[in-house]
Amino acid sequence: MWQFCFFNRASKPPGAQRAQPSRGREDHRNIAQASQYTELLMADRTEHLRPWLYLVLVAGLNAYICQEAFLTESTGHWQSMHGAWMAMARIIGLDWLPPRWWPYWGGGAPVQYAYAPLIPAATAVMARILRISIPMAFHALTGLVYCLGPVLLYVASWRMFRADFAG
């Protein structure tokens, strides 16, 4: 009964008799069409929110997994490139303009040719801007990369395979 009242909004003067709805085939079709329309409308709303929900879920899960990276000064795992990257960031962070010498590999080399400079330079910039230590900046940078990598992969794949991502 409520479906009929919802779709029959004809105004009646006060005191007028309300016409009884006919129980014919048209009323049932109207009710079925209205319920199908509301189902499609609700499905369309949730369909536009679903990618954003997955994006928040992936970002939250990554932040939870990598939460210690944002709070760690040292992990104790020095058998990797982390120590060399932090040392390069310290040398780069001393002064930006004059070239520096990296004496630790193969008899020495200019620091800009010693290794790929993006990670040490980004670590030095992050440490200087945030006024934190080099190891803390390095671990925060790696945590940020670990968190944003899957999120950006998700966004890129969604944009390639689904055109209506923006809603």
Residue ranges covered by each domain of the chain:
72-148
**Separation CA 142–CA 85 (nearest Å):** 11
Q: Please, are residues 142 and 148 in contact by the beta-carbon 8 Å criterion?
A: no
**Mean pLDDT confidence for 115-130:** 88
- The pLDDT tens digits of the residues spanning 25-65 come to 555 556 666 666 666 656 666 677 778 888 899 999 999 99
Predicted confidence band of residue 140 (pLDDT cuts 50, 70, 90): very high
Q: Is the per-residue pLDDT at 136 higher than 60? A: yes
One DSSP character per residue, 60-99 reads HHHHHHTGGGGT-S--S--SSTHHHHHHHHHHHHH-SSS-
pLDDT band (50, 70, 90) for residue 6: very low
Tell me if the pTM is above 0.75: no
